[in-house]
Amino acid sequence: MSRLSIEWRRSRRCDSNTCVEVASVGGAIAMRDGKEPEGNILIFSRADWTAFVTGVRAGEFDAR
């Protein structure tokens, strides 16, 4: 899959290019740095992504 054919999304709260962007790619989730769209892309399985999002919503990664 070409980088050009990936539909990247970012949070509606993001008002600049300093946010991460995510995309659905086949059966996985891709993530990249919005500041460097030609930089590295991280790929996560859907199960790993779901576990991460669940942890974020539960405050698992909040600074204490």
Is residue 63, in this structure, part of any structural domain at all? no
Is residue 35, in this structure, part of any structural domain at all? yes
**Contact of 41 with 30, CB cutoff 8 Å:** yes
**Contact of 34 with 20, CB cutoff 8 Å:** yes
> What is the tens place of the pLDDT at every residue in 1-38?
556 689 999 988 888 878 999 999 999 999 999 999 89
The total of structural domains in the chain comes to 1
Three-state DSSP at 48 gives helix
Beta-strand (E) ranges in 1-64? Answer: 20-25, 28-33, 41-45
Is the pTM of the predicted complex or chain greater than 0.95?
no
Is residue 62, in this structure, part of any structural domain at all? no
Domain range for 42 is 3-57
Is residue 34, in this structure, part of any structural domain at all? yes
Give first-to-last CA distance, the chain, whole Å: 40
